[in-house]
Structure 1
Amino acid sequence: MTKRVLLASLTAIAATVCMTGASFADEASEGLARATANIEKYKAKPEFVAPGEPFDAKACAAGKKMLSIPNSSGNPFLKGIIDRMKVAGALVGLEVREWENQGQPSQWVQGVELATREKYDIIDLISGIDPGTIEPQLRAAKEAGVKVMTSHFYDPSFEQNPVVSSSLTIGFGEVGTILADWAAVATEGKANIAIVVSNEVPPTIPLVANFKKQLAANCPDCKIIQEINVGVTEWGTKIQTAVQSAVQANPEINVVIPIYDSMSQFVIPALRLAGKTGEVKVGTFNGTPFVLDYIAQGLADMNIGESLDWIAYATVDGHLRDACGLESPKALNVPFYIFDKTNVAEAGTPAQFDTGYGDAYKAGFHKLWGIE
């Protein structure tokens, strides 16, 4: 090969490398722009959208009672929803009771059996109990005339268990895309992530799947360094040590994503003990007040919030429609709202469950129910 040919070949190779590098840079820049645009949508104040036609909710609810069974009463997010369902239900005469439990399937079974025995109209499985795990008892309840419903549990991509009458779904997959885009934007496209999950909880699956898909689509330089799976009943004993070990063993980690924000009470101490407070960004989902306070204190960075009172109203609305033979909404239709250091003060000091979202939903549901 002559020097001239060799020089031409090297020039061509260099040009190809430059073009490839420029193309990759363009891809990263375009992905970051898409991620930023998506995040901005969730910083707008939530708006109420009617889930169905108006109906006489008081006539529908007369004499009816509902037993709400959370996956664990130790979860302040779920307990907060149920407490608000009691109030929303009382507005139209629906009796709502919580079946308190510590996350054991045997305790869920006891709740179903009580609802069957005491002739409840509705069993509400809220956020985390897979109907398939207690299907024989739920089938017996259904045969006895109790309608089994779920709320804040199924992702729209899930197939509903046949024993379930209706489901008020929530976009867990959508949450995954928001978390991924936030991680990309917060690190300018250089996120090295530890993600904390609970794979036993079915909504985890679409959330994490969409998180990974969105990260790959919009952030080619972002990586999941470690995925930490901890069962719900072990959060208090395993999350802190697992996260602390992860960030110490992998100093490149600059983002921790506890996908459910009640996990954060164990993540924040782990970062403190590892000397990573303020150095590692924390983004999560649910909008639980103590986690919003972490943001105000500079201990966490972002929380995708939902108004618990809005969820409560939407759950009562959807379940009543089903119980009275009306068409039930396919989703909760409760909007997500991002809290970060720029707006967390809107949630109150200290933060409150339902502050910062506006209250348009109350007037909206009151009008739908005929109780203006």
Structure 2
Amino acid sequence: MKKRALFASVAAVAMFAGMVGAASADEVTDGVARATENLAKYASTPEFVAPGEPFDAKACAAGKKMMSIPNNSGNPFLKGIIDRMKTAGAEVGLEVREWENQGQPAQWVQGIELATREKYDIIDLISGIDPGTVAPQLEAAKAAGVKVMTSHFYDPSFEQHPVVSSSLTIGFGEVGTILADWATVAAEGKANIALVISTDVPPTIPLVENFKKQLAANCPNCKIVQEINVGATEWGTKIQPAVQTAVQANPEINVIIPIYDSMSQFVVPALRLAGKTGEVKLATFNGTPFVLDFIAQGMADMDIGESLDWIAYATIDGHLRDACGLKTPTALNVPFYIFDKGNVAEAGAPAQFDTGYGDAYKSGFRTLWGL
């Protein structure tokens, strides 16, 4: 297992803290030390942990079909997961289809209704569609014998909608904690933050709550200067001007956190136009390759990565267990891995979706599935 030092700045922070007063110095130094210790947990190459007992996945999947509906097919992260689910599903004989859409609820309804008519076994709502927004159609699907499942959507703190058979949760709150600790250490205990969020995506809520909670716990001199809330369907038109205006109007901003890394394609140009590239540190979450390339090019600083292929295998595994009446995991159990300038080369040049995480999960799932 590889492990690296994410930051070597605790001593430097102690020097900085000495300049801001004795009581504050202790708080800053202790907070940065706690944050540094927490970040170290995400510096090791991820290890595979079996999500359940072995089962005959081919026998379970025989003749079954799954419709995967993302909140928006324009999101490269979700597109990448579904493409890999098609491949992983094919290994055991599960047919996986994506219902392509542009993020409109009416389009989600069409996909649900088609899956119901064509007698799919599973509807997978992946990362963003609140089942409550399309509950009547999902209830009809359930009544017709289709199992409704979610993946990479609910935080463990969320209450699952009654129509949902099972959920493979992801630790969005944990992501918020990591981002807060990174900002604390990267800015040496004095982060002035612009936070870019989308409150219309439900997992944003625990992520931001934990971010603020962890920032308050470990960084008394840190503050959120501006919170920029942009709906998921408006990223392409509203993020860039909002970020550019924010950093120009608030020159004290030294950290920007677009909480989902596909937002970065609009944040990076905003920083460039404002003359802030390299001056304002950028950290985010998902591990999308073009953002990892931004790190390699010096236009971003950190991305919390998660292997899309690992997510795909874990989703197929969990959904098949549910579909066949087996005990189902309550989480994806896909580990987070911090990419920064010290290790981003591991992701490839150019970066790839699944490079840098190791491949223990592939043999792990294949063994579980009896392949």
Settle same-fold status: TM greater than 0.5: yes
Distance 2:169 2:26 in 1: 37
Give distance in 2, aligned partners of 1:23 and 1:164. 51
**1:258 & 1:21 partners in 2: Cα distance?**
32
* Partner amino acid, structure 2, of 1:325: G
After TM superposition, the score normalised by the length of structure 1 is 0.94
Separation in structure 1 between the aligned mates of residue 72 and residue 38 of structure 2, nearest angstrom? 32
SS of residue matched to 2:67 = strand
Tell me by how many angstroms 1:252 deviates.
Answer: 0.1
Partner AA of 2:246 in structure 1:
A
Q: C-alpha deviations, 1:282-301, integer Å up to 9, x for none?
A: 00000000000000000000
> What residue number does 1:151 align with?
151
1:154 maps to a residue whose letter is Y
Alignment-mate amino acid for residue 257 of structure 1: I
Shift of 1:21: 4.6
1:7 equivalent in structure 2: none
| Residue number in structure 2 paired with 1:4 | none
Q: Which ranges in structure 1 are unaligned for 5 or more consecutive residues?
A: 1-17
The amino acid of 1:163's aligned partner reads V
Matched, 1:254 2:254: yes
Q: Which residue in 1 is equivalent to 2:23?
A: 23
Report which of the two structures shows the higher radius of gyration computed on alpha carbons.
1
Could you report, residue by residue, the CA deviation over 1:132-168 in whole angstroms, capped at 9, with x for unpaired residues?
0000000000000000000000000000000000000
User: Aligned ranges for residues 356-371 of structure 1 at < 5 Å?
Assistant: 356-371=356-371
Output the CA distance in 1 between the equivalents of 2:313 and 2:50. 12
Q: Give deviations 1:28-86, integer Å, cap 9, x for gaps.
A: 21111000011111011100000000000000000000000000000000000000000
CA distance in 1: counterparts of 2:327 and 2:165, whole angstroms: 11
In 2, Cα distance between the equivalents of 1:363 and 1:214?
36
Which aligned pairs between 1:211-226 and structure 2 lie closer than 5 A?
A: 211-226=211-226
Instruction: Determine the C-alpha separation between the residues in 2 that align with 1:255 and 1:40.
Output: 20
| 1:347 and 2:362 matched | no
The letter of the residue matching 1:28 is: V
Percent of pairs with identical residues: 85
Give the aligned partner of residue 49 of structure 2: 49
- 1:311-330 deviation line (CA, Å, top 9, x unaligned): 00000000000000001100
SS of 2:216's equivalent in the other structure is helix
CA shift for structure 1 position 23:
3.0
5 Å-filtered alignment, 1:112-123, equals: 112-123=112-123
Q: Map 1:232-251 onto structure 2 (within 5 A).
A: 232-251=232-251
In the alignment, the residues of structure 1 paired with residue 66 and residue 103 of structure 2 have an alpha-carbon distance, to the nearest angstrom, of 20
Q: Which residue of 2 aligns with 1:299?
A: 299
* 2:320 maps to 1:327: no
AA partner of residue 77 (structure 1): F
CA distance in 2, matches of 1:54, 1:71: 32
| d(CA) in 1 for partners of 2:226, 2:148 | 38
Matched letter for residue 179 of structure 1: L
Matches within 5 A, 1:70-81: 70-81=70-81
RMSD of Structure 2 on Structure 1 (CA)? 1.0
Cα distance between partner residues in 2 of 1:319 and 1:222:
42
Cα deviations by residue, 1:162-196 (Å, 9 ceiling, x for unpaired)? 00000000000000000000001001011000000
Residue of structure 2 equivalent to 1:14? none
**Whole-angstrom CA distance in 1 between matches of 2:48 and 2:283:** 26
**Structure 1 counterpart of 2:228:** 228
1:15 paired residue number: none
